Structure 1
Amino acid sequence: MRTAHVLATLVTSSLLSLALAAPAQAASTIDYVALGDSYSSGVGAPGQSGSCMRSNTSYAAQWASRNDPASFQFLACGGAVTDDIVNTQAPAMRSGADLVSITIGGNDAGFAPTVITCLTSTDSACAAKVNEGKAYVANTLPGKLDAAYQAIRAKAPEARVVVLGYPLLFGTSSLICEMSIAKRRSLNSGAEVLDAMIKQRAEAAGFVYSDVRDEFSGHGACTSRPYINGLTIIPPQNSYHPNSSGYTNGYLPAFSGSAA
């Protein structure tokens, strides 16, 4: 019995010594800033609040919750365009950010009016509206993106900046959907053109581009397990934005894989 007691005491003492000797987990020193539009603020997910419709279910808020950065500035705002980055969001950044995420460009290219046209008009009218957006992306958006990225770099010269793209909105195999297959294909083709330009300008700026289309593949609106809301009446802004699964299983892993 005495031998067993001595052994137990030795084991306990050894474990305690190891615990005391183990270094404490270092606190995060990352200062993280989330910029951008509704796809970064969390529109489409529960818990939106304020005029910018920010949600704790957004990929940005989820990443901050899981990684406990030293500071987190949540500046993304529903409806934002590139000029908002230049004039409002980038100037509001605290100096010294280490990590920045952003989605931007969709509203510049006419996301909302294009979707409305496709919902309410013919296949040909939808295609024409998408083509207008493609022309804007080719001719005007590059300069707008460059200005936004330059504003970010000027405020955070050492930061790792992750530019996330947009998913294809629709699955195109199901016949049951509020839009025809032709309209869905038109809108998806617009997203592909937009993503290609965002990638080009992000990489030209020295930023990291993260393509989210793989994470959303097979999970567009009008699929059996959508990561994107279809037409939503209440609240209407949720229409064609990621749902909770889209932010958690789509955007969050796409960002997490590029943040380090």
Structure 2
Amino acid sequence: MKLSRIAAFSSSLLLGAVVALAGAGQAQADQSAAALDYVALGDSYSSGVGAGSYDGASGGCKRSNRAFPKLWAAAHAPSSFAFTACSGARTSDVTANQLTPLNSGTDLVSLTVGGNDAGFADVMTTCVLQSEANCLNRIDQAKGYVDSTLPGRLDSVYSAIRAKAPAAQVVVLGYPRFYKLNGSCTAGLSERERSAINGAADYLNAAVAKRAADHGYDFADVVPAFTGHEICSGAAWLHSVNWLNIGESYHPTASGQSGGYLPVFTSHA
């Protein structure tokens, strides 16, 4: 009888210790997340253009409350969060206008940039409004820029981030492919154009990933997360041409931010 009581008492102590350790581990994890100082930089894919619910105070930058940086900060409650991403930003805009919140105490930085430098908007305008030949030629021009000029531009902004936030983990996120090939679209661009646009996205992502890796940054590929949710998929997380709000065209919807960018960033943060 005494032995059984001793065994039960020992089991109770062991269970209590396990629970205490688990609780301590969770508290430590929560404390670690709360201690983070997070800064979100970049272009419209980070600011959340296309997701709606824009912060009026952000003006033309169109920072959305549904953008992945805002969603991540709401879920993890970092000790500080600065959201300076801005619609239309190029690498030079990030360097000139967005880096003020960075400092030696910054722990985490997210960034999307390079698409505007490569002429993303003009490529899509050309492809939608002009001939297939003009579309393919404009894509080739953009790829030439990615080869010749973009690496140096990326180096500049990546180096500027490291200079101001030497200890930060920097997560550089890429861009999705726009189209599901042989999908549900029956009008608009040709399959050849759609394939070339997808290939250009891959080309841009490869260049961004290479420069990020050379600076010791994490590259987060969002293409797998968006697979099955491209335009022409029937379950798109990207706007096609939006004639009522042309600036939202070819940008992630709120679902693209929460279902595409957010989990990919979370897995790297």
After TM superposition, the score normalised by the length of structure 1 is 0.89
- 1:41-70 deviation per Cα after TM superposition (whole angstroms, max 9, x unaligned): 000101123220000111111000001100
Corresponding position of 1:4 = none
- Equivalent residue number for residue 156 of structure 1: 165
Structure 2 residue matching 1:44: 3-state secondary structure: coil
Deviation at 1:177, TM superposition (A): 4.1
Query: What SS does structure 1 have at the residue aligned with 2:61?
Result: coil
In the alignment, does 2:231 pair up with 1:221? yes
Matching residue of 2:244: 234
Does residue 1:187 correspond to 2:203, yes or no?
no
In the aligned structure 1, how far is the partner of 2:190 from the partner of 2:158? 36
Give the match for residue 54 of structure 2.
Answer: 48
Please name the residue that 2:128 is paired with: 119
- After superposition, residues 62-81 of structure 1 pair within 5 angstroms as 62-81=71-90
Aligned length: 244
- Whether the aligned pair in 1 keeps the contact of 2:82 and 2:101 (CA below 8 Å) is no
Matches of 1:145 and 1:91 in 2, distance apart? 18
- 1:38 is aligned to 44
Q: CA deviation at 1:178?
A: 2.6
**2 CA distance for matches of 1:215 and 1:207?**
20
* 2:95 is the alignment partner of 1:89: no
User: What is the rounded CA distance, in whole Å, between the counterparts of 2:220 and 2:189 in structure 1?
Assistant: 28
**1:211, CA displacement in angstroms?**
0.5
How far apart in 1 are the matches of 2:167 and 2:220? 19
% identity of equivalent residues: 43
After TM superposition, give the deviation of residue 244 of structure 1 in Å.
1.0
Q: Is this contact kept in 1: 2:104–2:167, CA < 8 A?
A: no
Q: 1:128 aligns with which of 124, 137, 144?
A: 137
Give the secondary structure class of the aligned counterpart of 1:186: helix
In structure 2, the CA distance between the partners of 1:255 and 1:177, relative to structure 1 (3 Å rule), is farther
SS at match of 2:75: helix
2:258 equivalent among 240, 248, 258: 248
Report the CA distance between 1:216 and its aligned residue.
Answer: 0.5
Aligned to 1:54, the other structure's residue is in SS state: coil
Q: Structure 1 residues 163, 240: closer, same or farther in 2, change over 3 A?
A: same
Aligned-partner Cα distance in 2 for 1:145–1:254? 21
- Shift in Å, 1:221: 1.2
Three-state SS of the structure 1 residue aligned to 2:228 is coil
Runs of 4 or more above 3 Å deviation: 22-27
Equivalent pair of 1:33/1:93 in contact (CA under 8 Å): yes
Q: Normalization by structure 2: what TM-score?
A: 0.86
Partner of 2:6: none
2:220 paired residue among 210, 213, 220: 210
Q: Which amino acid aligns with 2:81?
A: F
Per-residue CA deviation, residues 214-244 of structure 1 (Å, 9 max, x unaligned), is: 0001211121100111111222111000001
In the alignment, structure 2 segments of 5+ residues that lack a partner are 1-15
**Deviation at residue 71 of structure 1 after TM alignment:** 0.5
> What displacement does 1:95 show?
4.1
